[in-house]
Structure 1
Amino acid sequence: MKQILFCLLLICYSKTIAQTLVSDKAKNNNPVFKGWYADPEGIIFDKTYWIYPTFSAPYEKQFFLDAFSSKDLTHWTKHSRILDTSAVKWAKKAIWAPSIIKHKNKYFLFFGANDIQSDNEIGGIGIAAASKPEGPYKDYLGKPLVDKFYNGAQPIDQFVFKDKDGQCYLIYGGWRHCNIGKLKADFTGFVPFEDKTVFKEITPENYVEGPFMFIRNNKYYFMWSEGGWTGPDYCVAYAIADSPMGPFKRIGKILEQDPKIATGAGHHSVIKAPDSDKYFIVYHRRPLTETDGNSRETCIEEMHFDENGFIKPVVITNEGVKPHVIK
């Protein structure tokens, strides 16, 4: 009898421990996956969430990209080395800040490489293509798409934006300058604007890097990162306009560090759930225990708007978001 009671108590105790572990997992979904990852671009392909981040390491070790997929925003599958420098001969180091789009049944992954500091160096923004979101990706052009400094913008931190009419744009830029260019239908180059210029500067006040754009209620929300990526002032700000060309007047910050949770919150993207009006902001931050600038991890929070369409300040958490399966 004592043995039976002991077994019953053991079973109940085990269930309690298991439930506690499940509960803890449900309460703490940030970071969303293990490892040092930054500059995450979140997107949905075929009712599956995907995140394409930078592998956060010193530039010489930052020569590949991983991807992660999930059906519910909380359980993630890692897809290792979807792209590395062996597939892009001109890229030697520092492949980072991927941006992806599905176009004509192919997946095009835009990336920065080599961290060039002048027009005399080889590198810039490249494109890799694949038939599946998890790759493998191969160099699409055999050379950079953008390999020079235009309007003072370092060719990094690329974002591919598809407008309502189907026109795709490349929005990019470091060194406190942001450009927009109209992509050709086959992504092999750019279509000049009416005044014959290829890139137009749309830099808002305090812009540093990490541009992102989305449309909500026919308004263009343009977002970017401010401050230094290794410092406490790193954050995300935004503007709203009636066109992807702007003009973009800075409204204010909506994501920044919380000294009680994490530091260096920034370089983000936004996912809208197609079956609801839910918006999620995907970003990186640095744990309080870390001082190395490359110790960054990817997190997700829900993003809300007020009755006038302005973005409410995002509260960064350890809990993250609740599971959300696309119907």
Structure 2
Amino acid sequence: MKYIISSLLLFAGITSFAQSTKTINQSGNPIFPGWYADPEAAVFNNKYWIYPTYSAKYKEQVFLDAFSSDDLTNWKKHEHILDTSAIKWANKAMWAPAIVEKDKKYYLFFGANDIQSDNEVGGIGVAVSDKPEGPFKDHLGKPLVDKFYNGAQPIDQFVFKDKDGQYYLIYGGWRHCNIAKLNKDFTGFDPFDDGTIFKEITPDKYVEGPYMFIRNGKYYFMWSEGGWTGPDYSVAYAVGDTPFGPFKRIDKILKQDPTMATGAGHHSVIINQKKDKYYIVYHRRPLGDTNGNHRETCIEEMNFDAQGNILPVKITKEGVKAQKVK
């Protein structure tokens, strides 16, 4: 009987501890279970959304899930918002989604098939839905970008909306990054004034995973460096006066902590304009795990100094405090 009572008290203590931890309202890292990478963050309808890569072998990467939250701490999973049954030309390596809302529709840009040359079928596609949770259907019936322009592998797409309302596709792997002007219905591109479609804006040490935002009139261009399966995967940034640069690399702001996790990279940013809060959403690897696909989605607060420089981000187990959109 004494043993049973002790066990019950121990269980009660554990339960009480779990409840008290919950009341702290920290997201914790990773923020949701499962192997997920390359997270694209967005805010739709007063909810936070994250669209990651399902991190597995290429042949198993045939769908995309999404996650939504009211407060950055409790996440709801939306399964298979898009898969290869809806994208007839895609058969593997569906990854690194980017999403944007336009004219009450949601456009999900994604890479598929990991093409290695202009002679293969694949590249960057577009899917569309009436809801952020999908289901999404193929917008074009073919890739939007299916060739190597300026040496950039057609992967790791990001859609950037400029101050004048113009949308741009910024993308590229293999250490090259392009920008192109999307047309109004996202079915193709409008040429620049000089007649070109794809302009290269590659900064020093760029590898992949571009991301851009505007703060105080300046264009912050961020990307990932290093090899995606290695411990030194990291995020760096540059600042420019236009979305075309020129961009001079400033520094790394996110990287591994050998006491916490490795391979911290391929990120996006949640911007809460009303509260002037910035959060970096990224993936990282558990310590000691050698499986290249074992990547977890995490979040940290991102801050700036008085000159507008991004301060180095400390990766944590705690993550961020609960924060409503409004």
TM-score by length of 2: 0.95
- Contact in 1 for aligned 2:27/2:322 (Cα 8 Å): no
Equivalent residue, structure 1, for 2:15: 18
**In 1, Cα distance between the equivalents of 2:10 and 2:266?**
43
**In 2, Cα distance between the equivalents of 1:81 and 1:130?**
13
Identity of counterpart residues, as a percentage?
70
Equivalent residue, structure 2, for 1:106: 105
Matched to 1:35, the amino acid is G
Matched to 1:227, the amino acid is G
**In 1, Cα distance between the equivalents of 2:117 and 2:63?**
23
- Contact in 1 for aligned 2:154/2:173 (Cα 8 Å): yes
Q: 3-state SS of the aligned residue for 2:33?
A: coil
Matched, 1:322 2:313: no
**1:37-74 Cα shifts (integer Å, max 9, x gaps):** 00001110011000000000000000000000000001
Farther off after superposition, 26-35 or 229-238: 26-35
Equivalent residue, structure 2, for 1:83: 82
Q: 3-state SS of the aligned residue for 2:85?
A: helix
May I ask how many residue pairs the two structures share in their alignment?
Answer: 323
Q: 3-state SS of the aligned residue for 1:134?
A: coil
Equivalent residue, structure 1, for 2:234: 235
1:325 deviates by 1.2
1:261 deviates by 0.5
Q: 3-state SS of the aligned residue for 2:18?
A: helix
**In 2, Cα distance between the equivalents of 1:188 and 1:226?**
30
Equivalent residue, structure 2, for 1:262: 261
**In 2, Cα distance between the equivalents of 1:279 and 1:68?**
19
Q: 3-state SS of the aligned residue for 1:228?
A: coil
Equivalent residue, structure 2, for 1:3: none
**In 2, Cα distance between the equivalents of 1:11 and 1:308?**
56
**In 1, Cα distance between the equivalents of 2:27 and 2:61?**
28
Matched to 1:312, the amino acid is L
Unaligned residue ranges in structure 2 (runs of 5+): none
Equivalent residue, structure 2, for 1:44: 43
Flag the 1:15–1:218 CA change in 2: closer, same or farther, 3 A: farther
Q: 3-state SS of the aligned residue for 1:86?
A: coil
1:18 deviates by 3.0
Equivalent residue, structure 1, for 2:213: 214
**1:248-305 Cα shifts (integer Å, max 9, x gaps):** 0000100000000001000000011132011000000000131100000000000000
Q: 3-state SS of the aligned residue for 2:19?
A: helix
- Contact in 1 for aligned 2:27/2:74 (Cα 8 Å): no
TM-score by length of 1: 0.95
Matched to 1:251, the amino acid is I
- Contact in 2 for aligned 1:28/1:318 (Cα 8 Å): no
Equivalent residue, structure 1, for 2:289: 290
Unaligned residue ranges in structure 1 (runs of 5+): 1-5
1:19 deviates by 3.3
Matched to 1:224, the amino acid is W
1:13 deviates by 7.0
**In 2, Cα distance between the equivalents of 1:104 and 1:307?**
37
**In 2, Cα distance between the equivalents of 1:229 and 1:296?**
10
What does 1:96-175 align with in structure 2 at a 5 Å threshold? 96-175=95-174
Equivalent residue, structure 1, for 2:298: 299
1:84 deviates by 0.3
